[in-house]
Amino acid sequence: MESSIGRVAPLEAVLFDIDGTMCVSDPFHHRAFSELLLKVGYNDGVPITPEFGMKHMAGRSNGQIGDFLFPDWDKDKIDGFFREKEAMFAKYATEGLTEIAGLTRLCRWAEERGLKRAAVTNAPRANAALMISILGLSDFFQLIVTGEDCDRSKPFPDPYLSALTLLGASPDHTVIFEDSTIGVQAGVAAGMPVIAIADESREGKLIATGAALVIRDYRDAKLWAALDKLDAKADAAEINGVTQNGD
């Protein structure tokens, strides 16, 4: 696992998904979806479960979710549903969104090393910016790339490849943080190692999808062991470069 992450040394950039990767947002999405789906009579009024949301919605764009939920609706009706849903999500998130444990420490680690930084998400831009603001990371990220900015959203690699281009970073020296199979697919397709946030029940699926490492949160000892190895490899490469170029 760590060896595939180690190949990106010296690390140049870090790319983060937002929902479920940087923050605990699923409960707010679920609440908003549940209330609105009941309102429109979806599933004969039977409430959706969190498992349903994880299977059919997590990591997907609103367009992808809309096509799945409402195959017979026209675009205007779907767009109206999601405008209301995103407004509800924003309200609920403002009341209680929290970071994935240890995120602040990891962001500080990235800043100390001068790494390039971008958020890459299928969420609408307004709510992506809102979540980042609530987390106190508006100044941390140099840019936000959304699926709406690209011809194809995740699981296609386009959003991650766009972020690399905008940052001026190489996939050979960049690592991605994700939490969904959709996101891991996108990162792997873009040619970068993906570190995934997941509980034990989803770990096997994410590894099968291509995640280089699965951690519970950003306090995980496995993560810091991998990052320490990256630092060591970068230091060794710098020393060797000085030696080879010295007297």
Distance between CA atoms of residues 11 and 5, nearest Å = 10
Q: Per-10-residue mean pLDDT for the chain, 247 residues long?
A: 79 97 95 93 90 86 92 94 94 95 98 98 94 97 96 96 98 97 97 97 96 98 96 83 54
Q: What pLDDT is recorded for position 241? A: 65
Task: Sort 137 into a burial class: Cβ within 10 Å, 0-12 / 13-18 / 19+.
Answer: buried
List the structure tokens of 132: 């980042």
Which CATH number fits the domain 26-96, given the four candidates 1.10.150, 3.80.10, 1.20.1440, 1.20.120? 1.10.150
List the structure tokens of 43: 């599933």
Q: What pLDDT is recorded for position 37? A: 94
Q: What pLDDT is recorded for position 177? A: 98
19 is catalytic: yes
**Which CATH number describes the domain made up of 2-24+98-245?**
3.40.50.1000
DSSP state of 62: H
Q: What pLDDT is recorded for position 1? A: 42
Q: What pLDDT is recorded for position 2? A: 45
Kind and range of the H or E run holding 175: strand 174-178
Q: What pLDDT is recorded for position 55? A: 86
Q: What is the pTM of this model?
A: 0.90
Q: How many C-beta atoms lie closer than 10 Å to residue 180's C-beta? A: 26
Q: Show me where the domains of the chain are located.
A: 2-24+98-245, 26-96
26 is catalytic: no
